[in-house]
Amino acid sequence: MTTEMMTHENLQESPTDAALAIRALRRYPDRVAFRWDGGELTYRETEQLIAGLQVELQAMGVGPDHNVAILSSNRAEAWCTVIAAQALGAAISNLHPLGAADMHMAQVRELAPAVVVSDAESHAETARLIAEVCPEPHHMFLGGGSDTDIVARAKAYTDATVTLVERTDLPGTLNFTGGTTGRPKSVVRLQGGIGQMTLAILADYDLPKAPRYLAVAPISHVGGVKIVATLTRGGMIYMVRGFDPARVLELIEREKISYTVLVPTMIYALLDHPDIDKRDTSSLELLLYGASPMSPARLKQGIARFGPVFAQFYGQTECYPITFLPPEDHDPERPELLLSCGRPATGAVVKLLDDDCNEVPMGEAGEICVRSPTAMTEYRDRHDESAKAQAGGWLHTGDVAQADEEGRLYIVDRKKDMIVSGGFNIYPKEVEDVIYNDPAVSLAAVIGVPHEKWGEAVMAYVVGRPGEEVDIDRIQLSIKEHKGAIYCPKVIEVVEAMPQTPLGKVDKVALRAPHWEGQARQV
């Protein structure tokens, strides 16, 4: 006698991110979900707004296999539009609110979305330019009070109920890479993978109970991926439009913020601001940072000021999260750990591989490669680049790291940032870490520039801390003592500010460009 096993193709599916969001909103209907200067939304009101937005989106033909582009500053209605579209089975393309109009127009042309939704307060002019170049989509606004105000129209549907298409195999986001190593690419991630991302955050990040989250980093990107997790824990999200260090410090004190997400350049600005010692930040239990490496020297300053609240996440548009370094590993008594980006995230398989996709021996440097349900399926319409990024059945991050015996990874640098000078491989981050030890330095960036004899030479750009004078000779001597003469920048240029990508990273492409102009090779 044999027993036949009956299976169903959907039996092992997990919830989509939209499903997790709606579930959370129904769990705490009377709590405040979102707050901002001059307004707030309860969990119940948020769900009702999502239902109304869905009525409008469906009337414009949005459903499975469609996509909706959103260009907005941090506002609750933008997040509601994301969930409304994804719950209909559509994909979302978050255009970066700090990006240039030309970039937005090019990305909308590439995506050909069914609808473009723009923030009437912060992006009206860019929206007008996009509509002129790309008239085919429906062009709607968040706010503004006109006939195209999708929020005002959605609020008219007081009896609407949420439609939930739970298809984990459908695209959920078509977001663009940051463009730090070339032209931004549209990354396809599935609805199910985005849900797994939220579950990994809940598993690893140890969010405060009923958290009070300050959304200051753009919610179109890293700031937004914590919202569903916050709602799942019954928390409140305070929306901030734009980064002003004085304002952030004031809100932490006034709103009793328990956690936030910042990129390192934002943390540096907080530490250097004259209000830093005037504000009570004792409510802060967790300060998540990522998007680019943080200087260990400045991290020690942050721990001394804010306490043991720092935690680092590492990931990319192509896959998030990949690793996590918790607060207990931010130990000033073990300074070597401050150089780590953490251990693999829950649900991620991470290995360090060589150029032939073989795992490197312990202690040697290799490329961080990952397998995870949160990983992208492809770069949209870029088969060759997709195949290269997924060679050998691994997602290749382009970041080079070493591992310790306890499983923590230590990023050396990006493969494409590596400087080859006189046959020696020099990773800029190693030099930057030494420069950051100088008390007069606020921000540092090291690049390779053309050199007739050595091929490339090391050059550094430095921004000084307020009221401090940068001593170039002192920095060069420190680098020679700690790393050796080959690592020492031939030129250190002190500047008032550095170009940044929309994600808040130092734009090394822009820094390199004038030095390599007219060169036959770019390395």
Band of the pLDDT at 146, cuts 50, 70, 90? very high
Rounded distance between C-alpha atoms, residue 419 and residue 414, angstroms = 10
pLDDT at 413: 67
Band of the pLDDT at 422, cuts 50, 70, 90? low
Q: In the predicted model, what is the mean pLDDT of the chain? A: 91
Say if pTM beats, i.e. exceeds, 0.75: yes
What's the whole-number mean pLDDT along residues 327-336?
91
CATH topology classification for 17-30+41-191:
Rossmann fold (3.40.50)
pLDDT at 249: 97
Whose CA is closest to 466, among 274, 302, 298, 266? 274
Band of the pLDDT at 182, cuts 50, 70, 90? low
| Span 418-516 CATH architecture | 2-Layer Sandwich (3.30)
* % of the chain surpassing 90 pLDDT: 74
Residue 452's SS3 state is coil
93-109 tens-digit pLDDT: 999 888 888 888 999 99
Q: Is the pLDDT at 450 greater than 70, yes or no? A: yes
Whose CA is closest to 460, among 481, 430, 439? 430
Looking at domain 243-415, its CATH superfamily turns out to be: ANL, N-terminal domain (3.40.50.12780)
Among 23-32, 177-186, 374-383, the least confident range: 177-186
* % of the chain surpassing 70 pLDDT: 93
Could you tell me if 145 and 169 are in contact, meaning their C-beta atoms sit under 8 angstroms apart?
no
What's the whole-number mean pLDDT along residues 3-23?
79
Work out whether strand 39-42 and strand 409-414 pair parallel, antiparallel, or are unpaired: unpaired
pLDDT at 523: 40
Q: Is the pLDDT at 180 greater than 60, yes or no? A: no
Work out whether strand 343-344 and strand 319-325 pair parallel, antiparallel, or are unpaired: antiparallel
Q: Is the pLDDT at 135 greater than 50, yes or no? A: yes
Extents of the domains making up the chain: 17-30+41-191, 243-415, 418-516
Rounded distance between C-alpha atoms, residue 115 and residue 246, angstroms = 36
Q: Is the pLDDT at 257 greater than 80, yes or no? A: yes
What's the whole-number mean pLDDT along residues 306-319?
94
Q: In sequence order, what are the beta bridge partners of 377?
A: none
* 17-30+41-191 and 418-516 in the same fold: no
263 DSSP 8-state letter: -
454-483 tens-digit pLDDT: 778 899 999 999 989 999 999 999 998 888
Q: Is the pLDDT at 521 greater than 50, yes or no? A: no
Structure tokens at 43: 């969990």
Whose CA is closest to 461, among 419, 510, 516? 510
54-92 tens-digit pLDDT: 999 999 999 998 999 999 999 999 999 999 999 999 999
Alpha-carbon 191 to chain mean position: 18
Q: Is the pLDDT at 222 greater than 60, yes or no? A: yes
Rounded distance between C-alpha atoms, residue 219 and residue 226, angstroms = 9
Q: How far from 374 is each of 198, 290, 320, CA to CA, in Å? A: 10, 17, 6
What's the whole-number mean pLDDT along residues 488-502?
89
